[in-house]
Amino acid sequence: MDSLSPVIGPKLVVPLRSVRRILGPDLQPNLNRICNKNKKINGMHAENTKPRAASSAAAIDFRDRDWKSKYEDDFQARFNIPHLTDVIEDALPIPSTFCLRMRTPTQDFADGYINNNDRVLLKVINYSSPTSAGAECIDPDCTWVEQWVHRAGPREKIYFKPENVKAAIVTCGGLCPGLNDVIRQIVITLEIYGVKKIVGIPFGYRGFSDKDLSEMPLSRKVVQNVHLSGGSLLGVSRGGPSVSDIVDSMEERGINMLFVLGGNGTHAGANAIHNECRKRRLRVAVVGVPKTIDNDILLMDKTFGFDTAVEEAQRAINSAYIEAHSAYHGIGIVKLMGRSSGFIAMQASLASGQIDICLIPEVSFNLHGPHGVLRHLKYLLETKGSAVVCVAEGAGQDFLQKTNAKDASGNIVFGDIGVHLQHETKKYFKEIGIPADVKYIDPTYMIRAVRANASDGILCTVLGQNAVHGAFAGYSGITVGICNTHYVYLPIPEVISYPRVVDPNSRMWHRCLTSTRQPDFI
């Protein structure tokens, strides 16, 4: 049973409104799904009773006076990061070969190392009440609970001799601005440690099994300018071989450090590779760098490429705005990425200040009817003369015919909500006899292919460096991230147990609504 079970379990049953506040934003969507599915468990509605990997193993009884310290201990155990010595007891550390002053001994750099016991606080707001806007609470009183995670960075002791390392980098899933920046920084940092054998696996996990694809030797010289263009130097793909085939291939190639750049799916693969390596008792470090333009990885401030995507989306939104405002009764529709999370649509709407309606997967809406989107568009044409809509790709999927089609990675292929919205809008205004000039823009692949902006460039650089520090420190099955502006190592299962989504009760969504002035479409 997970740590949330006290609120939906038999020991303490609290009103639904309180549960909503208690869960916090990362868990709210579960509650929304819980409520929507309308299945009753312990007097509460629940979608399923399966414990989430991200949650603790032990139930907590809030009547227990020690529940808080038990929760904190449990949290610490969950966020412990796996280490080579967990399974290879005789793995011995050596002094780090990482040195910033290339000509002086490492001792000079002693102050620059991270202590293994350093921690970063995951949540920094102490909510005085569960009714505070956006409150994330563990218990009904919203007691302050400390949640510490491991600080990232170079360690004084390392578990790999650089001359024995063969490091590989693989990029999986869809494109995302910054992939080349991360590849570049991993290579540069590996070389500073003294690693000579660095390779790129071509076209995602597929490169491990496809005999026609050979690994790409990487060096500082090769990667020097790769960050100046978008895409991935190595190529990407979805689908690919089994985990056991991947680990066979790693053994054949002598790879003992694997850096995996990708999203939820890729990280699930990376964690499975880490587990298989453990099972085979291999001295291998598997380290992930979260790549998701949708920003749907749990616990992190943001993932690389997201900032660039929001910035690049401004061009599309501005074009839609110009088109809409230059036409008589113009309506511009922009569809942005976001399979299950509306972060790009929300942030791009906020940034532009030109959006009248923002539609995201996390917030239900009607198209038709007195409170529907179309009726509001009519109102906007009557009052403003034009309107601009920003819709996330995963929004409004209920309106579309389900095909049950899946891509090679098993992701559901969505219907095009942008095209549907355009079609329904045209039809609606034709039917009511009001002229409307509807223009639709889908900038998805134009956005994904651009190079990282300066902010993402820095994020990629730090994440790439920390990935290498983590591997040399002997950690495996971890990923790197930024939490409250500090860089951390997190165990992979904790960040991918479900996609991170926009919390409709969050301050940020409220700010978006304040900016668009859109009503509820229900």
Ligand X SMILES: O=P(O)(O)OC[C@H]1O[C@](O)(COP(=O)(O)O)[C@@H](O)[C@@H]1O
Annotated binding site for Mg(2+): 264
Helices 28-37 and 16-23, axial angle in degrees (round to 10)? 150
Q: Which is nearer to ligand ADP, 174 or 491 (CB)?
A: 174
Give 202's contacts (C-beta < 8 A, 6+ positions apart). Answer: 213, 214, 215, 216, 234, 235
By CB under 6 A, residue 337 contacts ligand X: yes
Binding residues for ATP: 174, 238-239, 263-266
Stretch that binds ligand ADP, among 126-134, 195-203, 257-265, 366-374 (CB under 6 A): 257-265
Binding residues for Mg ion, rule: CB under 5 A, are 263-265
Let me know: does 160 contact 285? Beta carbons within 8 Å: yes
Minimum CB–partner distance for residue 456 and ligand ADP (Å): 16
Residue at 133: amino acid letter: A
Q: How far apart are CA 397 and CA 335, in angstroms?
A: 13
- With CB under 6 A as the contact rule, the residue among 96, 292, 340, 516 that binds ligand X is 292
b/e map 34-57, b = 16+ CB within 10 Å: bbeeeeeeeebbbbeeebbbbbbe
Give 114's contacts (C-beta < 8 A, 6+ positions apart). Answer: 151, 152, 153, 154, 155, 469
Minimum CB–partner distance for residue 28 and Mg ion (Å): 21
Other CB atoms within 10 Å distance of the CB of residue 432: 11
Tokens 């009503």 sit on residue: 519
By beta carbon distance, the residue nearest ligand X is 174
Residues touching ligand ADP, count (CB under 6 A): 19
By CB under 6 A, residue 393 contacts ligand X: yes
Question: Which H or E element spans position 392?
Answer: strand 387-392
Binders in 388-447 for ligand ADP, by CB under 6 A: 409, 411
**Partner in contact with 305, chosen from ligand ADP, ligand X, Mg ion, none, beta carbon below 5 to 8 Å by kind:** none
By CB under 6 A, residue 270 contacts ligand X: no
- With CB under 6 A as the contact rule, the residue among 240, 361, 396, 443 that binds ligand ADP is 240
Binding residues: 174, 238-239, 263-266, 292-294, 337-339, 393, 445-448
* Cα-based torsion angle of the residue sequence 491, 493, 499, 501 in order, rounded to the nearest 10 degrees: -50
Q: Which is nearer to ligand X, 44 or 293 (CB)?
A: 293
> Over the Cα atoms of the chain, what is R_g?
24
By CB under 6 A, residue 407 contacts ligand X: yes
Binders in 265-284 for ligand ADP, by CB under 6 A: 265-266, 268-269, 272
Stretch that binds ligand X, among 20-28, 38-46, 336-344, 484-492 (CB under 6 A): 336-344
- With CB under 6 A as the contact rule, the residue among 139, 215, 294, 362 that binds ligand X is 294
Give 157's contacts (C-beta < 8 A, 6+ positions apart). Answer: 93, 94, 95, 96, 473
Stretch that binds ligand X, among 37-45, 133-141, 337-345, 415-423 (CB under 6 A): 337-345
Helices 306-326 and 454-472, axial angle in degrees (round to 10)? 160
Minimum CB–partner distance for residue 258 and ligand ADP (Å): 13
Catalytic residues: 294
Q: How far apart are CA 374 and CA 359, in angstroms?
A: 13
Tokens 């020991």 sit on residue: 11
By CB under 6 A, residue 263 contacts ligand ADP: yes
Stretch that binds ligand X, among 51-59, 205-213, 335-343, 503-511 (CB under 6 A): 335-343
Minimum CB–partner distance for residue 265 and ligand ADP (Å): 3
Q: How far apart are CA 136 and CA 115, in angstroms?
A: 30
By CB under 6 A, residue 29 contacts ligand X: no
Q: Which is nearer to ligand X, 380 or 395 (CB)?
A: 395
Let me know: does 151 contact 114? Beta carbons within 8 Å: yes
Residue 457's nearest CA partner among 209, 207, 183 is 183
Residues touching ligand X, count (CB under 6 A): 12
Burial classification of residue 421, based on how many CB atoms lie within 10 Å of its CB (0-12 exposed, 13-18 middle, 19 or more buried):
buried
Q: Write each residue from 174 to 193 as x if it is in contact with ligand ADP (CB under 6 A), else as -, in one continuous string.
A: x-------------------
- With CB under 6 A as the contact rule, the residue among 24, 153, 173, 330 that binds ligand X is 173
By CB under 6 A, residue 263 contacts ligand X: yes
Q: Report helix, strand or coil for 351.
A: helix
By CB under 6 A, residue 344 contacts ligand ADP: no
Q: Write each residue from 429 to 448 as x if it is in contact with ligand X (CB under 6 A), else as -, in one continuous string.
A: -------------------x
By CB under 6 A, residue 305 contacts ligand ADP: no
DSSP summary character for residue 70: H
Kindly list the residues in this chain that would bind ligand ADP in the complex (CB under 6 A): 172-174, 204-205, 238-240, 262-266, 268-269, 272, 292, 409, 411
Kindly list the residues in this chain that would bind ligand X in the complex (CB under 6 A): 173-174, 263, 292-294, 337-339, 393, 407, 448
